[in-house]
Structure 1
Amino acid sequence: MTVQMYLARRRQIEIVLWILFLIVLWLVQFTVVYLEHLGGESRFQPWEFLVWEGTSIFVVGLLFPLILFWDRRFPLNKETLARHLIIHLLLTLPWSLLHVVAMVALRTVIYSLEGGSYNFGHWGIEFFYEYLKDFRTYGFLLGSVYFYRFLLRRMQSEPVPRSHDGRLTDSVERPERLLIKKLGKEFLVNVRDIEWVEAAGNYVNLHLGDRIYPLRDTMAKLLERLDPVEFVRVHRSYIVRLDSIAEITPLESGDARICLKGGQQIPVSRRYRDLLKARLKPN
């Protein structure tokens, strides 16, 4: 599979790989725990180990999008690293609480279906034990997200800038925030929150939900600064975030129309239609 094909089907591949990773992790964890009890006189049945590890990993999979959401709200970069890192450390507590509550609830239901009952043990002691594991899991998942993004940039042959001492720095060409001047005030707009962009004379209008921020720039120059993995130009006057697209309707004229998840409709010109299709489908 070529890089272009991978990027075109990136979302589907990511979901499949994530599911496979969870399944493999489930089997590995089950094997480790089962072998630990195999040598002794364990009062537990093999299916119980499967349930324990399976419910834990299943809930981790469900809660992973929450980490992505918090990362969008509190991204880790050189300007905000110290402050946002503390926030993420604090967020491990509610994340672990959600994980443990959901995990215990699932185990209780499964045991009741088997005609038995599940005893989690002393909540204070057991939650502390689970939190230590969840703390490491949260850090591993968050770190994996940033490592995966780094690999994506390398796949696209994008330069990864470094400081004089060799440490990674933020790319000037790919800013995570844009400084916007509006009504005599200055705003920092998170690039990840931009759903679509519209040309407006000497400005471009950044659409973030029902908010609009004018930026003095051209479409071409702004597109160079946006992540090509996330954004695509569909018209001389429009740029959209791929994740914001709900559906695409081909038109008899050869053009197309995009309906965004927020309900907005964006025209797609024939000039850019093939580019959009290439980003959404394999070559």
Structure 2
Amino acid sequence: MKLPIFIADAFTATAFRGNPAAVCLLENILEEDSHQQIAREMNLSETAFIRKLQPTDNFIQKNTNSTLTFVTLSGELKARKAEDGIVLDFPLYPTFPQDFHEVGDLIKAAIGDTLVQDIRYSPDTRKLLVRLSDSYDRSFLETLKVNTEPLPQIEKTGRVKGLILTLKGEPGGQAAPYDFYSRYFAPWVGLPEDPVTGSAHTILSSYWSQQLGKKEMRAFQCSRRGGELDISLRADGRVDMKGGAAIVLEGTLTA
């Protein structure tokens, strides 16, 4: 069995930055064990398997508006090509105030005595959003040592599956200004830190839109690889996220 396979870095225009993912193109359905074996071989946090719903489907002819619709295990995902990147169509999830005393042990274990300005919770995604004090800057968030190892033992009810740390941006202070910064951690699912996280920005977009009074924003995820997102909240309650993509590997998988 020979399968076309790619590694793409998303939310960046530069190779070896952004969020790396393997993409495997399938002509036929594979057994789930084969999916898992290929994913383990790729050794990345995400491996996507793309298959046409109908063998006769022709993406070029059917997508004259440059939009593709993917039917995924999480629902439909629409992607369209823009002049300067790819736009993903995501749901937008609200956040609700969270009492510090209910999650204080988790936060202290993760970031120690770092000053916290706001805490929110997203029941739709089971993500906890922790906004750091406005007295900190981007370099502080980038260099902050976050201890994720004990978090699954501290919070093991299943209520929290991801931790977002976020910080207000400095729109007027940099050559490439950003409205907000973030980092994302999910040790509950075996991911100590994710390089760039689209799902986290479905919550961050909602939160920062309310805080800043803006519908159009630019965000930077401060992982070691780093990633940029252009965010646009839509009137239908969804959010468009635009980012670059760099193909860093193209080949054939033999199995």
TM range (shorter): under 0.3
Structure number with greater CO (CA < 8 Å, separation at least 6) is 2
TM-score when normalising by structure 1:
0.20
Higher fraction of strand = 2
TM-score when normalising by structure 2:
0.22
Higher fraction of helix = 1
State the structure with more CA Rg: 1
